[in-house]
Structure 1
Amino acid sequence: MYRRVLSGLMCLMFISAMSKAYAHEQRAETLQLASVNAAAAYAGSNELVVDKHADRIVPIASITKLMTALVVMESGEPLNEWLEFRKRHLPAAANAYTRIRVGSEMRRADMLRIALMSSENFAAYTLARHHPGGYDAFVQAMNKKALELGMTRTTFVDPTGLSVENRSTAADLIRLVNAASKHPQIGDYSTTRYYTGRFRQPRYSLSFGNTNVLVHRDSWGVGLSKTGYLSEAGRCLVMLSNMNGEQVVTVLLDSLGTRSPMGDAGRIRNWLDTGAPGKVAAAAKAYEQEKNAAYTTARRQDAVSDEQAAVGVN
């Protein structure tokens, strides 16, 4: 009797889960998002409930720093160790303005905090410089970790995201957020609202603010966050947050405006709750059409190049 009841309950749970997935699948096509590429999944799962070009390989800008944080945490290096900000040994791939003074020092934990919450590029670069084996070993560790997580369409070339060659997919980044969320420090550091960083040799302080406005709103319960921007990547956001009582991982890549990813997060939350498709501004739709056309052209050009290489055409 007990086994029959247990078996029945398990069947009901399975049917409920399948019905929920089917309902999401049926409604997903109506969801309107400003981001050109997007994905969402319930925390701890890599099964997508939102999939908008989720397998398209695109530049990810400073979303890169989430992998930087994961490599730092899993290196086992002491977080309270003081590290020196050394002059760059390689030129930055894009504008790398910083207020931090070359030669000054900061604790590893504090570097990681400002790299995540405020997207401080010099901090992310310096973390890699002090990795066992040095900068190149750090980048290798980033790519190795990506493969371990099943991020098969992801490539890293630097720890900051300033290079457009740091590329991934929305689906791959779901895996990264799930892995990073297992480290409480990454969640804490990335959702710090404001922070005063303290340096030594010389002694000075700098104030930093979080680049994601949603961390300031308690109703979102943001547990992990990272923003990113390059002109080639558009506005990007990955986030673990509370949506209608569920923990949801959201990945939003290549939006037109600064607030567009936050608006998309709201549209996903409403859609999960009510099925409402939401509305997207005309400018965002035009931007999406332009970027999709560019992606299609690039894919065709790559296909032609591959075909020419296969037959030995120079």
Structure 2
Amino acid sequence: MLKSALAVVTTLLFVVAGISPAQAQTSANTKKTAAKKTVVKKAVVRRQAAPKRAAPQASLDHREKLVKKVAYVHGKRRVVYQRVSAMPTVPVVPPVMTAGDMAGLNLTQDPLALRSNVALVIDQASSQVLFEKNSSVALPIASVTKLMTSLVVVEARQNMEETLTVTDDDVDRQKHSSSRLRVGAQLSRDDMLHIALMSSENRAASALGRNYPGGLPAFVAAMNAKARSLGMMDTHYVDSTGLSSNNVASARDLAKLVVAAYNYPVIRQYSTDAKYMVEPSGHALQYASSNRLVASKDWDIGLQKTGYINEAGHCLVMLTKIEGRSVVMVFLDSKGKLSHVGDAARMRKWLSEQGPQNLTRVNLRGGRADEG
């Protein structure tokens, strides 16, 4: 009833306006189609005019960049940005301060630009000092300690063929250094001495001290007594390996130790061997020298010992011949894995250029150079 009344009213309105119902319906459909086209056109315009989605830059580290990737979430295509490192990240490691650095020895300059904070070169025969740099300062000496260890073992005249066993007491729990000798490994005292001198084997040096009459405390006491007898007044030992930074000596003291140890052929031979094989408990192990110079044909080395711990830096003592002259070289607290070897080469070149007749003594203490 209501619908019929509305239809009659609508028809009357169309008649008054002069428009037929069919024309009105066509006009309505046209407007709807135009409206749809307008909406679609606006959407296209917006899509074309809208700028591409910018990658988020907020809080972006200079070492990072954003990579655009396409992902599908619940079946719908999505554009995502992923942070990636623009360059490999290297952790910043602060430089290790050695005992020499903390004492200010790194401020001492020298004409050879040595990388060692301490250096000393003396003539073996005359004890004449040829080069000196901070040589009276007592510093940690690391495995150079083993030179005194070998001297005490040799002078104790113990049975060198006696079998020694590596025990848990020989394991380094201070620096956590590695060793190729396992707990339970057995070697003769002679072999232990050989690899301790040549290859700085810590467990071998520990076993040597532990098997001294009275044990390690008596051995350390013998080390300090021997140092005093040699006039090494700036020297102090607390172990037989050098792993403790409390093992200290000055370059002048170490030069005396080198001269004393050189008197024993077994120490000369073992410290300068390039390679040596041992068989702990029947298993063959090949050891090599810790000093690459002993295998070089350019060097004539009669005795040597290297050492390294963080507090000591790289250390080297040796007796060698240069231009026919036997000289003792001591380098302590050197920076860089091969810096002590490089310093030895620079020193040899300088001594060769000076010549035995025109040699100038260089004495550096606290940054002041005295020549005479």
Q: Which amino acid aligns with 2:337?
A: T
Match of 1:20 in 2: none
> Given the two structures, how large is their TM-score scaled by the length of structure 2?
0.64
Match of 1:66 in 2: 147
* Cα offset, 1:46, TM superposition: 4.0
Match of 1:220 in 2: 299
Q: Which amino acid aligns with 1:217?
A: S
Range that drifts further, 253-262 or 59-68: 253-262
Match of 1:3 in 2: none
Q: Which amino acid aligns with 2:288?
A: G
Match of 1:182 in 2: 263
Q: Distance in 1 between matches of 2:211 and 2:200?
A: 18
Match of 2:234 in 1: 153
Is the Cα contact below 8 Å between 2:121 and 2:130 reproduced in 1? yes
- Residue 261, structure 1, aligned to residue 261, structure 2: no
Is the Cα contact below 8 Å between 1:44 and 1:178 reproduced in 2? no
* Cα offset, 1:130, TM superposition: 0.6
- Deviation track 1:38-96 (CA, whole Å, cap 9, x = no partner) reads 11112255442211000011110000000000000000002122111122178632123
State which of 280, 303, 307 in structure 2 corresponds to 1:199: 280
Is the Cα contact below 8 Å between 1:38 and 1:52 reproduced in 2? yes
State which of 42, 49, 62 in structure 1 corresponds to 2:123: 42
Q: Distance in 1 between matches of 2:298 and 2:292?
A: 12
* Cα offset, 1:272, TM superposition: 1.5
State which of 130, 134, 137 in structure 2 corresponds to 1:53: 134
SS in 2 for 1:235: strand
Identity of aligned residues (%): 45
Is the Cα contact below 8 Å between 2:193 and 2:205 reproduced in 1? yes
Q: Distance in 1 between matches of 2:336 and 2:284?
A: 31
> Given the two structures, how large is their TM-score scaled by the length of structure 1?
0.75
- Deviation track 1:252-304 (CA, whole Å, cap 9, x = no partner) reads 0011112111111111112112139xxxxxxxxxxxxxxx89xxxxxxxxxxx
Q: Which amino acid aligns with 1:116?
A: L
Cα RMSD for the two superposed structures: 2.0
SS in 1 for 2:301: coil
Q: Distance in 2 between matches of 1:232 and 1:221?
A: 30
Q: Distance in 2 between matches of 1:89 and 1:102?
A: 8
* Cα offset, 1:189, TM superposition: 0.4
Is the Cα contact below 8 Å between 2:165 and 2:184 reproduced in 1? yes
Match of 1:289 in 2: none
SS in 1 for 2:244: coil
Q: Distance in 2 between matches of 1:34 and 1:98?
A: 29
- Deviation track 1:226-252 (CA, whole Å, cap 9, x = no partner) reads 110011111110111111111111000
Q: Which amino acid aligns with 1:228?
A: G
Q: Which amino acid aligns with 1:125?
A: S
- Residue 234, structure 1, aligned to residue 350, structure 2: no
Is the Cα contact below 8 Å between 1:48 and 1:171 reproduced in 2? no
* Cα offset, 1:104, TM superposition: 2.1
* Cα offset, 1:126, TM superposition: 0.2
- Deviation track 1:106-158 (CA, whole Å, cap 9, x = no partner) reads 01111111001110000000000111111100000000000000000000000
Match of 1:252 in 2: 331
Q: Larger strand proportion, structure 1 or 2?
A: 2
Q: Which amino acid aligns with 1:192?
A: D
* Cα offset, 1:31, TM superposition: 3.7
SS in 2 for 1:142: helix
Q: Give structure 2 stretches of 5+ with no counterpart.
A: 1-108, 356-365, 368-372
> Which 4+ residue blocks in structure 1 deviate beyond 4 angstroms?
none
Is the Cα contact below 8 Å between 1:195 and 1:208 reproduced in 2? yes
**Which is higher, the Rg of structure 1 or of structure 2?**
2
Q: Distance in 2 between matches of 1:52 and 1:215?
A: 25
- Deviation track 1:26-46 (CA, whole Å, cap 9, x = no partner) reads xx9634321100111122554
